[in-house]
Structure 1
Amino acid sequence: MRGWPAVLFLLLLTPAAAAAQTAAPPAATPVPVYGFEVVRTYPHDRRAFTQGLAFHDGELLESTGRYPSTVRRVRLEDGVVLQSRELDDVYFGEGLTEIDGRVVTLTWTSGKAFVWDADDLTLIAEHAYAGEGWGLTDDGARLILSDGTPTLRFLDPLTLTETGRVAVTLDGRPVSRINELEWIEGEVFANVWHTDLILRIDPATGVVTGVVDLTALMPDRSGLDPTDAVLNGIAWDAEGRRLFVTGKNWPTLFEIRLTGPR
């Protein structure tokens, strides 16, 4: 991969693609790599195993995993949890998005989605869906779900019936471990599990059009579990055009501005 370390590129490949990568033709155009500037930092609950993050009406909506998993409203300025709902212990919480005043959250392997009122987190409905649930976002008309494979699935927001899917590729190769998602001005931004990278994905084609390198975002991770306390959580304030990122059990939420590409 031109423009960034080959080891980061290998992290993005499925095992089969990694094995075949020497035989693949070179990319015609390098995928741009973006850096960042930290605009501001905010406290984040270190107990929050962040799985989904969204910005709504001046607050953060967040879903957490492990047991008990939660969905919560969080005050941006100081990280205070204003309201929290716990899932039954049989459910491991995953991605989250807010659409038309409803918060939809996924579960990892239970095939169950929950729908909550965005104002008070009252449970409104439950739906079944096929496969695993990892990340979730929406484009205003469709839900967009990741499941750890190189696929984004599009779902009806009211029934969670699948309406389409697209394969995610970087330089023509499939990208696995796509995790938390956020819709930002016509693109899907996606965390890649166990990397410090965010992909910018064209939702129509699945092609990765850019990579955001957040390796230097939080260099001191002493006291954090290197196995699980990974970058995960992207929220976009469309009105203020602010981008927020955090990680699982991180003590800090970062407002960042993208720079580059380089």
Structure 2
Amino acid sequence: MKHLIPVMIPVLFIIAGCFNPESAGHQGKKDSSSPAEPVKITYTITVTLPHDTSYFTEGLEYYDGKLWESSGGNMTESPYPSVIGVVNTKTGKNDPHAVLDRRKYFAEGITFFNNKMYWLTLDNGLGFVYDATTFKQLKSFKLPSLEKKGWGLTHDAHHLIMSDGTDRLYFLHPDSLNLVKYIKVSDHNGPINNLNELEFINGYVYANQWLTTWILVIDPATGIVKAKIDLEELQKEADQKTAERRELNGIAYNPATDRLMITGKKWPMMYEITLNSWFREP
């Protein structure tokens, strides 16, 4: 044993060096490559408008100077119309332009692109394409979602962008409807699920996160959440005026006013809001 002591002493010093407090203090730090915490964006309510409480809002978009809204419904669980219509912002009522058979389809997100209207369904793994002038149905297409579901829909200059309630955003070719790519959405805490209604604004995807009061501002190149808008106060007001709590869902950007129209499923109001700052990369 005497011959082992000189050998063990250097080893103990090496072990002690591995556990010195200064080194240990660095182990708990986040990787410098982790995304930054999203910026919090505040807003101002410009005007409050009536909303048709028979509409289970799944899609909201300005097109051709009009506000369009999609409502989901079926014969059993959600007895509301599966319809898309133009919103009369003075009354909140809708002028239907296309209707799906709610015995088969629960209507979801919409977007208008290149004189066509694209419309998703929830559980059928299908979407539909319409002529945006005549509203004649042109064709159907299979959704690329792993869940075989459609939730939110928007577009950039080249692609349709679709959510399916997971952390994925799918980019589709607007003509072939084939999947071009997908991204996974995350922030500084990890993956973000329940991505719902979408709007593409100033180079970013704005997304309602289902069952929360957040609108997320997502970089479409990386999937990183760059900013967040908390609409808790709007949700509270809607809860006070309805017998059953319904989720925030509906983002429409009006380029004529540079404002957003916000609503929720069966909410009695729509809110036109001005963001106090738009997110821009530094």
TM-score (norm 1): 0.84
Residue in structure 2 matched with residue 161 of structure 1 by the alignment: 178
Paired-residue identity, %: 38
Residue in structure 1 matched with residue 44 of structure 2 by the alignment: 37
Deviation at 1:120, TM superposition (A): 4.1
The change in CA–CA distance for 1:99 and 1:24 in structure 2 (over 3 A counts) is: farther
Alignment of 1:113-262 (within 5 A): 113-130=127-144, 131-171=148-188, 173-220=190-237, 221-222=239-240, 223-226=242-245, 229-259=246-276
Residue in structure 1 matched with residue 108 of structure 2 by the alignment: 94
8 Å Cα contact 2:68-2:87 kept in structure 1? yes
Deviation at 1:94, TM superposition (A): 0.8
8 Å Cα contact 1:224-1:249 kept in structure 2? no
Judge which range, 138-147 or 127-136, deviates more: 127-136
TM-score (norm 2): 0.79
8 Å Cα contact 2:218-2:227 kept in structure 1? yes
8 Å Cα contact 2:196-2:210 kept in structure 1? yes
Partner SS state of residue 216, structure 1: helix
Greater relative CO (CA pairs within 8 A, separation 6+):
1
Q: RMSD of the alignment, in Å?
A: 1.9
Deviation at 1:82, TM superposition (A): 2.0
Deviation at 1:188, TM superposition (A): 0.2
Gap regions ≥5 residues in structure 1: 1-22
Matched to 2:116, the amino acid is: R
Deviation at 1:121, TM superposition (A): 2.5
Gap regions ≥5 residues in structure 2: 1-27, 75-80
**Is the helix fraction higher in 1 or 2?**
2
Deviations 1:158-202, CA, capped at 9 Å, x for gaps: 222100011101115110000000000100000000111000000
Deviation at 1:132, TM superposition (A): 1.1
Q: What is the aligned counterpart of 1:107 among 121, 124, 129?
A: 121
Deviation at 1:260, TM superposition (A): 5.7
Distance 1:184 1:177 in 2: 20
Query: Alignment length, in residue pairs?
Result: 237
Residue in structure 2 matched with residue 82 of structure 1 by the alignment: 95
**Is the strand fraction higher in 1 or 2?**
1
* Structure index of larger Rg: 2
